[in-house]
Chain A
Amino acid sequence: SQTIHQWPATLVQPVGSPLSLECTVEGTSNPNLYWYRQAAGRGLQLLFYSVGIGQISSEVPQNLSASRPQDRQFILSSKKLLLSDSGFYLCAWRITGATDTQYFGPGTRLTVL
C-alpha cells in the first residue's frame, strides 16, 4: 500500500532563516506531487506541483521554491523565511493518469517568529 511521509511535523524558525521541508511517497511510481499551504481557518492554496523528476510548476509567486530530486521525493525550500510563510504545509500525491483523487501527508506546522 502507498504511504506518504512529511517531516518535520512542527517547526519554529526565525525570520530570515532557511527552510527545507521534505515529503516522500512509498509504494507507487511516478506520482504527481503537490505542495499546499493552509493558513489558519482557510482553505488550501496550491504552491507547487510536479509531474516528474526535475519538473516543477509554480502556482503562486513567492520566496518559496520546490525541487524533486527523486521520483518519490518532493522538497519545499526557502532561502529566507518571512513572517507570512507561517502556516500548515501539506504534501499530496496522485496516481498519474488515474482519477483526480489526491492523498495527503500529515502536514508540517511552520511558525515563523
Chain B
Amino acid sequence: SQQGEEDPQALSIQEGENATMNCSYKTSINNLQWYRQNSGRGLVHLILIRSNEREKHSGRLRVTLDTSKKSSSLLITASRAADTASYFCATDGGRGSTLGRLYFGRGTQLTVWP
C-alpha cells in the first residue's frame, strides 16, 4: 500500500503542552502534506513539505521530513483546546503516480484538555 501511517493513533495532552505526531510512508514522494479534520467536517490543509525540504514552519506548526527514513513529523507547540481534531498525513506517491492523487493515512486523534 502507498498509504501513510500516522502514529500514535490517539494522543491526549493538556493545554500548553506540545503535540507530536508521526507519519511513515512506503514509496518515494514529491511532497507530503498534513491535513486537519474536526469531527464531522471536511479536511483542512495545514502544510505541504517538498521532498527536498527537511523542515518547514507555519505559525505553531513545525513539520519535518526525513526521506531516507520515509517519515515525517508534525509538531504543534503550545497546544490549545481548539487544536482538538484528527490529523492526517498525505503523500503524492512520487514519480509515476496519478497526477494529483493523494494517499492518506488513518490519522491521529488529538485531544487537548483545557
Please give the residue numbers on chain A whose beta carbons come within 8 Å of chain B beta carbons, in ascending order: 32, 34, 41-44, 46, 49, 51, 57, 88, 90, 92, 94, 96, 99-107, 109
Given A100-B31, A100-B100, A101-B33: A43 touches B42 (CB 8 Å cut-off): no
- Whether A101 pairs with B40 at a CB distance below 8 angstroms is no
- Whether B45 pairs with A103 at a CB distance below 8 angstroms is yes
Chain A contacts of B45 at CB under 8 A? 101-103
Please give the residue numbers on chain B whose beta carbons come within 8 Å of chain A beta carbons, in ascending order: 3, 30-31, 33, 35, 40-45, 48, 88, 92, 98-102, 104-107
- Whether A107 pairs with B92 at a CB distance below 8 angstroms is no
Query: Nearest chain A CB to B42's CB is how many angstroms away?
Result: 4
Partner of B42, one of A51, A57, A100, A106: A106
- Whether A42 pairs with B42 at a CB distance below 8 angstroms is no
Chain B contacts of A103 at CB under 8 A? 45
Query: Nearest chain A CB to B11's CB is how many angstroms away?
Result: 15
Chain A contacts of B3 at CB under 8 A? 43
Chain A contacts of B99 at CB under 8 A? 32, 51
Complex alpha-carbon distance, A32 and B106, angstroms = 23
- Whether B30 pairs with A100 at a CB distance below 8 angstroms is yes
- Whether A43 pairs with B102 at a CB distance below 8 angstroms is no
- Whether A102 pairs with B100 at a CB distance below 8 angstroms is yes
Partner of A46, one of B88, B101, B106: B101
Q: What are 24 A-B residue pairs whose CB atoms fall within 8 Å in the complex? A: A32-B99, A32-B100, A41-B106, A42-B106, A43-B105, A49-B98, A51-B99, A51-B100, A90-B43, A92-B43, A100-B31, A100-B33, A100-B92, A100-B100, A100-B102, A101-B33, A101-B48, A102-B43, A102-B100, A104-B42, A104-B43, A107-B41, A107-B42, A109-B40
